[in-house]
């Protein structure tokens, strides 16, 4: 394979392995299921796949609680299956990114089990953040400080001998102490393990974590997951010390040809460039569009704030509309502007959701983002217009966010429901009885209802990816066009323009040859919430 920087302009498809395709009929997605769908992904026209954690794990946070970084969860397959999958993907020209989870491991990891067996002050405990509790004036003992877990509740759990350990996420996810040389060496070795097996790179989980203020001061303010860690000199997010670790990893990747790593860093615009320095990450997700209001001005300023700093550094921008941590955007776009997608599944009202509007806007957002310079990350099912399953009953929810939210948030399971492949058949062709229930309405979104069907979401994505390869990948230039109120318009060096009417009123169809429209049948005008790609005539 060529070692060109494929990831700068690539489309990377995120596979939530548990819910993508089930190869052995046990109701859980697996590597062999993914293998069987590689031709589908190649036909869609993607360049790479990022696979959510597939390691042995008690799955108390969907696999982000890793018990062994050098093996595969038996429900997902074996190392041999992974090797075969990587080889088959490469034959189809598809790169594979593995999810690296360095901030924490699982409480089932051999290191943490040893730490629990060992005494306070032992070398086994030194790989984690074990410390004494704080003692109040009245003598009661509490957690060492006031840090909170991202999933709710305190970030500390007490063990039998009285010490406490730090977990910024679930108690089943003890944070590793990255000042410890063994932790550093172990992860360099884990990187090599997967690079040697042919992985093309890594998506790095909680890249803004890792380093902690080792004095463990109280925090005055708390930062929620997916809302950006925006305080300077925060005690456990986005600390300067973490960059030294990143540089060590980069040095390992640079021993190999053409490998890359992308950071999941929830940091401010001012901080992000540090992660993109030439000896650090190749790219970082930008989640700003997930938070942008639906209007042309907000989109333009958000896109500019992502594009310009990346360009200045010679890095590639990234565009994300959905992932396994947020409400699927077809549903998000169908909610009133002032509604919080985090809490709406609990609070309702259900009729606040306008499904048709959400789907229209999702099509527009696809043309806006897939036409931009940089990498686009697609979340499985996005190419089908799959909705959030926000109505999942509490008793099937699996996400620690739901468990720990005290009834205020249903968490992230609604975007992790198994993919419908066929309208008929058990679990809509996913495999055996799906581990998370799928709603009846999934039948209409199944791939066999959409592939080759004019006007379907799948056809829109497939056409968009083909045109993107033809017209958009040779340059990184983006030029804004003033197209009037409510209209977002830009052109690329090829001369191809994207014009999106995000306003309430229709506008005349701009001049040019229509390459693709967000909805079928658009010729003379662009109605509200439609978009077009045009080539100069």
Residues lying near ligand GLC in the complex (CB under 6 A): 61, 64, 101, 169, 205-206, 225, 264, 324-325
Q: Give CA–CA dist 467/136, Å, rounded.
A: 64
> Looking at beta carbons only, is 320 or 507 nearer to ligand GLC?
320
CB of 120 to ligand GLC, least distance (A): 27
> Looking at beta carbons only, is 266 or 421 nearer to ligand GLC?
266
b/e map 109-123, b = 16+ CB within 10 Å = bebbeebbeeeeeee
Residue 78: partners with Cβ closer than 8 Å, 6 or more residues away: 31, 72
> Looking at beta carbons only, is 57 or 369 nearer to ligand GLC?
57
> Looking at beta carbons only, is 382 or 529 nearer to ligand GLC?
382
**Mode of pairing for the β-strands spanning 48-51 and 164-166:** unpaired
Of 277, 373, 294, residue with least CA distance to 329? 294
**Mode of pairing for the β-strands spanning 513-517 and 530-535:** antiparallel
CB of 122 to ligand GLC, least distance (A): 26
CB of 264 to ligand GLC, least distance (A): 6
Residue 356, number of CB atoms within 10 A of its CB: 9
CB of 291 to ligand GLC, least distance (A): 15
> Looking at beta carbons only, is 323 or 491 nearer to ligand GLC?
323
CB of 351 to ligand GLC, least distance (A): 30
Residue 517, number of CB atoms within 10 A of its CB: 21
CB of 325 to ligand GLC, least distance (A): 5
CB 26 within 8 A of CB 63: no
The secondary element (H helix, E strand) that includes residue 195 is helix 181-196
CB of 423 to ligand GLC, least distance (A): 30
Question: 3-class secondary structure for 362-416?
Answer: HHHHHHHHHCCCCEEEEECCHHHCCCCCCCCCHHHCCCHHHHHCCCCCCCCHHHC
Dihedral (CA of 243, 279, 289, 54) sign: negative
Residue 536: partners with Cβ closer than 8 Å, 6 or more residues away: 495, 497, 512, 513
Dihedral (CA of 385, 386, 388, 391) sign: positive
CB of 206 to ligand GLC, least distance (A): 5
DSSP assignment of 227-252, as one string? S-B-STT-SSSS-TTHHHHHHHHHHH
CB of 356 to ligand GLC, least distance (A): 30
> Looking at beta carbons only, is 324 or 468 nearer to ligand GLC?
324
DSSP assignment letter at 500:
E
How far, CA to CA in Å, does 148 sit from each of 133, 145, 154, 219, 266? Answer: 15, 9, 4, 9, 17
Determine the 3-state secondary structure of 445 from DSSP.
helix
> Looking at beta carbons only, is 44 or 245 nearer to ligand GLC?
245
The secondary element (H helix, E strand) that includes residue 100 is strand 95-100
> Looking at beta carbons only, is 206 or 246 nearer to ligand GLC?
206
Q: Which residues are catalytic?
A: 205, 255
How many Cα atoms are found within 13 Å in the side-chain-facing hemisphere of 521?
A: 3
Closest residue to ligand GLC, judged by C-beta, is 64
> Looking at beta carbons only, is 64 or 187 nearer to ligand GLC?
64
Q: Find the farthest-apart pair of alpha carbons in the chain and give their distance in angstroms, rounded.
A: 80
């Amino acid at each position: 394979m060529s070692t060109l920087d494929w990831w700068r302009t690539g489309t990377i498809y995120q596979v939530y392995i548990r819910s993508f395709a089930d190869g052995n009929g046990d109701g859980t997605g697996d590597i062999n299921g993914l293998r069987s769908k590689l031709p589908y992904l190649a036909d869609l026209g993607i360049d790479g796949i990022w696979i959510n954690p597939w390691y042995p794990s008690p799955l108390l946070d969907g696999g982000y609680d890793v018990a062994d970084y050098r093996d595969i969860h038996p429900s997902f397959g074996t190392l041999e299956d992974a090797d075969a999958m990587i080889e088959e993907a490469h034959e189809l020209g598809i790169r594979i990114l593995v999810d690296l989870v360095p901030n924490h491991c699982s409480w089932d990891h051999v290191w943490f089990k040893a730490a629990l067996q060992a005494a306070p002050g032992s070398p086994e405990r030194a790989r984690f953040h074990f410390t004494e509790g704080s003692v109040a004036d009245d003598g009661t003992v509490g957690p060492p400080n006031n840090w909170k877990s991202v999933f709710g509740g305190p970030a500390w759990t007490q063990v039998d001998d009285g010490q406490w350990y730090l977990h910024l996420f679930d108690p089943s996810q003890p944070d590793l102490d990255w000042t410890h040389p063994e932790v550093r060496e172990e992860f360099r070795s884990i990187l090599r393990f997967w690079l040697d097996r042919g992985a093309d790179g890594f998506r790095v989980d909680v890249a803004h974590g890792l380093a902690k203020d080792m004095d463990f001061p109280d925090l005055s303010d708390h930062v929620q997951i997916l809302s950006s860690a925006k305080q300077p000199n925060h005690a456990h997010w986005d600390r300067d010390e973490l960059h030294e670790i990143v540089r060590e990893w980069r040095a390992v990747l640079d021993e190999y040809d053409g490998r890359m790593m992308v950071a999941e860093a929830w940091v401010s615009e001012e901080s992000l460039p540090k992660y993109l320095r030439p000896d650090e990450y190749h790219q970082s997700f930008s989640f700003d569009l997930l938070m942008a209001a639906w209007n042309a001005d907000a989109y333009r300023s958000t896109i500019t704030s992502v594009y310009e700093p990346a360009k200045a550094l010679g890095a590639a921008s990234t565009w994300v509309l959905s992932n396994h941590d947020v409400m699927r955007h077809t549903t998000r776009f169908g909610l009133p502007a002032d509604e919080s997608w985090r809490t709406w599944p609990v609070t309702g009202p259900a009729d606040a959701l306008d499904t048709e509007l959400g789907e229209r806007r999702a099509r527009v957002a696809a043309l806006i983002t897939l036409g931009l310079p940089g990498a686009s990350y697609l979340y499985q099912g996005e190419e089908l217009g799959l909705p959030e399953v926000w109505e999942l009953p509490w008793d099937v929810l699996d996400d620690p966010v739901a468990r720990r939210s005290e009834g205020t948030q249903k968490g992230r399971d609604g975007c992790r429901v198994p993919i419908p492949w066929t309208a008929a058949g058990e679990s809509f062709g996913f495999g055996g009885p799906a581990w998370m229930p799928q709603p009846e309405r999934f039948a209409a979104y199944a791939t066999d209802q959409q592939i080759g069907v004019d006007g379907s979401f799948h056809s829109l994505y497939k056409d968009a990816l083909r045109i993107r390869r033809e017209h958009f990948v040779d340059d990184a230039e983006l030029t804004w066009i003033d197209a009037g109120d409510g209209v977002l318009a830009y052109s690329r060096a090829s001369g191809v323009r994207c014009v999106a009417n995000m306003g309430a009123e229709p506008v005349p169809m701009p001049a040019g040859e229509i390459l693709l429209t967000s909805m079928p049948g658009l010729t003379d005008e662009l109605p509200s919430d439609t978009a077009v790609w045009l080539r100069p005539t």
